Amino acid sequence: MTSIANAAAEFLANKRIAVTGVSRNPGAHAANAVYNRLKERGYEVFAVNPNTTEVEGDPSYPDLTAIPGGVDAVVIGTAPDQAPATVQQCIDLGVDHVWFHRGPGRGSANPEAAELGRANGLAVIDGGCPCMFAPTADMGHRIMRPILQLTGNVPRHV
């Protein structure tokens, strides 16, 4: 098993990252916060939302296959029932890193999708938020991380 800190560092070492579930309404969804933070920190980030062609003033893609040049990693910020299809796209496209966003609630975590990814060689983080770890962290997320580890919403190991 890998510690969550090491898994997060490995994930965040990727520079082309897609974020699924980014909303048309800025500030309406946690995926938007992740998308914007990655963008602010210099990542080449791609919004995925099949219901629009633009989010946060940037192009949005209907799925991972539509992103020109592909991506190295994916943050899943959709409802959990949509996660298996996204993980399957990652497998089909050769995307090696997947992070299921999860804060205080259920988030996007889907145990079956996580297992599908792991069974196919993907590095899977099934909880927490990329904004909880350097170089994307802020003070609020750093404070939330140990609290959410106590509740199990942030895994200690993956």
Per-residue pLDDT tens digits for 124-138: 999 999 999 999 998
Per-residue pLDDT tens digits for 15-71: 999 999 999 987 767 999 999 999 999 999 999 999 999 998 999 999 999 999 999
Q: Which residues pair with 100 in a beta bridge?
A: 76, 126
How does strand 16-20 pair with strand 123-126?
Answer: unpaired
Tell me which fold the domain 4-151 belongs to.
Rossmann fold (3.40.50)
Domain spans in the chain, listed from the N-terminal domain onward: 4-151
How does strand 44-48 pair with strand 58-61?
Answer: parallel
pTM value? 0.95
Q: Which residues pair with 56 in a beta bridge?
A: none
